[in-house]
Structure 1
Amino acid sequence: MADARKVAAEIQRLSRLSDDAFMDRVVAYVTGGTDRRVPRDVQGEAFSSPLLAPRTLLALETAGRRAKTYNPLQEGETKRQQQARIAPWRAAIKAAMGPIQDVVDDLAHEHAKELAALDDDAFSDRWTGLVLGEPVPEPTSPRVEELAFRSHRVARRTADICRLMLEDPAGFMPEPAPGESRTTHRRRVEGFRQRVQTEASFLRYAVQYADARQGRMPSEPNHRLQALKLLGQAHPQELLALLRQVRGEDRAAKQQERRDRRDIRRAARSGAQ
């Protein structure tokens, strides 16, 4: 195990780096590079520490998407040869993600316990801040905050807030700026709804997972009922008119059915006579 003081110093040094510089250090470490100032074991413990693990994971994911940037096409090299050269590099990046993801998952698990202990107002405020993209209170990272809210421990509670957000966006969004136009306001509300709907989709799977963990068969969402609720909220009068129309058609069909049965009985009695 590396010296704790050296690891702490390395964490501080890495924390001061820009995102790109930090990512370069992570990639260099994962692909076998060395830093003459810092032993590899110290670097490794710093990158996987609770303070840096979320940032390290993000750096690895971003680097994986920028594989060609880190492995540019060399002179005289074909694209197929470049891909062959990138393959082991990408495999090393992917392999390094596993242990770091475990650390981040553990952090999210513990953070979910803290969220579960919040009262309803504090919990709602914290979730609303995340949806609106507000800074996450330190030392929690946005990645850990997202994972914690999607955990089986609080996913159902979070999903309930999402439903309220979709029903009444104004109750959760910031006050409009003075002079905000209707078009700007509508776009802002639509953007908010889209973010909430995306999160609600993730949470639905999290809730189903929570049910499955307890040996309960997850229930599928009733999309038709959800659509009717949204239609009723947006166009209540039109929905009532449609309901009256359908009920009227249903009553007319039942009346016709009764008349048909009555005619059949009458015809049967006439034939018997």
Structure 2
Amino acid sequence: MRGLVDTVNGFMLRLDTALRAMRSFTGNASHQLRTPLAVVRTQLALAVRAGDLPAARAAAQAGDAALAEAERILAQLLLLARVDAAGGAPLPDAPLDLVALARDLTAEKVPAAAEAGIDLGFAGAGPVLLRAEPVLMGELLRNLLDNALTYAGRGAEVTVRVLATPEGGAVLAVEDDGPGIAPARRAALRGRFVRGGAEGEHPAGMGLGLAIVEEIATLFGGSLSLEDAAPDAPRRGLVVRVAFPPVG
């Protein structure tokens, strides 16, 4: 009887987690998708009323860009819902080599970095193991890299580092020599829907990058920290570190 009670309680807990994730997703989606979908509708109306082909083409291109933004927002919201729903899941049995994962994903981002005028590199010798789900860890690093490539600025250097701690844990760090983030803003930027960039700027994105990173890290026992890369330099840069416990 005790086993049956535990099974039912576990099922109800998972069901409650899934329902909360679904409610959060639908609320966030309805809010975040409103603007790009309104832009699509407006541009379609302009295309219909356009007096010549170039004007119609320009409206169609603007609508297509807004639709691409809606797709990107939806992908991040789906990832966030997946992280929310995974809160009670057990850790994977097989350890993950963080060096191999980070090296491959860094190489994947090199073309985008080159297009942005950023020198992207990797440093780390493996294996460095942690107990985590590979797909979610990949999304964690992609979000860190996307943030660095968005905010570091043309001419910056971005380095992904993987280190093993003396206790057997793992540290993933993404370091840049860009403008950095003022210490007073760092706590706020870890929340959902808070975007980076200098005061008064309105950068692209929806402000989920660091929130996703921290929530995925927490799932696997990790912790997130943000520090100046070079505190005394004119461009102090930023180091975002995610530290994970030893593989037990």
What TM-score bracket applies, with the shorter chain setting the length?
Answer: under 0.3
Query: Which structure is higher in strand share?
Result: 2
Give the alignment's TM-score, normalised by structure 1: 0.23
Question: Which structure has the bigger radius of gyration?
Answer: 1
